[in-house]
Amino acid sequence: MVEARTPDWVKSAIFYQIFPDRFARSRSVPKPTNLERWDYPPTAHGFKGGDLVGVVERLDYLQSLGITALYFCPIFQSTANHRYHTHDFYQVDPILGGNRAFASLLDEAHRRGMRVVLDGVFNHASRGFYQFNHLLENGQASPYLDWFHVNGWPLHAYEGHRPPNYAAWWNIHALPKLNTHNPDVREFLLNVGQHWVEQGIDGWRLDVPNEIDDDEFWREFRRRVKGVNPDAYIVGEIWGDAHRWLHGDQFDAVMNYPITRACLGFFARETLDNNAALGTGYGHIERLDGAGFAATISNVLSRYPDEIAHAQLNLLGSHDTPRFATLARRDGRAYRLALLFLMTIPGAPCIYYGDEIGLEGGRDPDCRRGFPWQDDYHAGPQAHWDEDLLEYARRATSLRSTFPIFSRGNFAVLQTTDDLVVYARCWQDQIAVVALNAGKDFVRLEVPVSGFAADGSIFQSVWGTDDARVDNGALHGVAVPPRSGVALIGGV
């Protein structure tokens, strides 16, 4: 087994996920005329015209939010607004501003110390992908016949009463699956992975990588990517147990959806709308008490070596899920608690664009609404920001970036009740204690810290309470208001 080594920068990064068509658009990027109104509900096929120059113009905002890394949904040329139907893996979509806009984004992000991670869709392509289009035009005479898994002729490439007679992702006609057993296909995809790292990106988020059921492909992908930049981040979209890919020779980490589900089950348990979760990757979300939440989190964090656990991408939602605000029926306190939790546990926290201002959204495509910028180019009369939530998010990211213990320390549960979870982070000669109260009552705690901190130690409040002192093996007088959290740091 290879010893896991993950990029050090990821452990202290704060990510922000951007759906490019919906985040921001710039007046400087020419647009087609038939665009959806920015502030109207998104549709499955409509484009709103967001672009990468628009992202550049909002980097000040992202920096003020404490963001240090950007994760983009696909940006390559495509006829889908989500761009998971790739036409050309080497060309940034012209509606996004093309390769020149992306080069500008990379330069400006890196100048600010921000990393950039792209979405790699290597399992399938599209009907417009050159090699598949060649197949459509030339049938069995195409030299690219063995780039795909064809089961009959002529190709049933469009929706109707006939399913596709070739392998396609979820049997969707528009998404022909690439034949990665073909050495030419493998080399093509590996070169794409290498090329964009050579252009300066800081990593790949891999779309449905489990569907390329070939560990050696991913081992070679890692070798190619890390050969260009050993600090490039490789994170897979795996929704459950990921041991197979996390032995140090394939991915650095995965999207930590088990953490997401646990946060919804505990912090939003009183308001959780499970009907909104059905039909999504979440399925039914179990409501949790403090002990159940702590056990779930401890189990998830202990599944993998610390080197990997500290590089996991921890999130509260994504382009594939209903938004947290909607699942919690607009319970902003639940999101605040979950965000504070995310900022104080091992793994890189990731904010899905707009969650920090209370943006709502149900199942895809509703979870991909336009960001309601308060200007005449983007916003309609319904534009609204939860300014208090935004300020809370800024304080939470600042807490993590100010105190390295929250991104570097070990994790241990200290205490639980039905409504409460208290945990420690230990690093070097420090210990942090975090208490999160999901209940409706004010609590005053005596937190057991014997073995962590000596009697007489003073713990300084860094979030929402008074300083506290250790006596008789317990931290006394820790006051936690209802639906709130506190954090303190002391010496070992």
For the annotated catalytic residues, the residue numbers are: 207, 237
Decide: 368 and 388 in contact? Cβ < 8 Å.
no
Token pair in block for residue 184: 């030419």
Decide: 14 and 348 in contact? Cβ < 8 Å.
yes
Task: Report the C-alpha gap between 58 and 67 in whole angstroms.
Answer: 12
CA distances from 268 to 137, 327, 331, 430, 483 (A): 52, 8, 7, 31, 10
Q: Mind giving me the DSSP string for 238-300?
A: --S--GGG-SSSS-SEEB-HHHHHHHHHHHTTTT--HHHHTTSTT-SPPP--HHHHHHHHHHH
Furthest CA-CA distance within the chain = 82
- The 8-class DSSP code of residue 207 comes to S
Task: Report the C-alpha gap between 489 and 468 in whole angstroms.
Answer: 10
Residue 321, Cβ density class (10 Å: 0-12 exposed, 13-18 middle, ≥19 buried): buried
Strand partners, 313: 255, 348
CA distances from 481 to 150, 231, 293, 327, 422 (A): 61, 41, 19, 24, 14
CA distances from 398 to 63, 164, 284, 429 (A): 11, 50, 33, 21
Residue 300: how many CA atoms within 13 Å on its side-chain side? 27
- CA pseudo-torsion sign 321, 323, 329, 334: positive
Question: Which stretches does DSSP call E strand in 428-473?
Answer: 430-437, 443-448, 458-463, 468-471
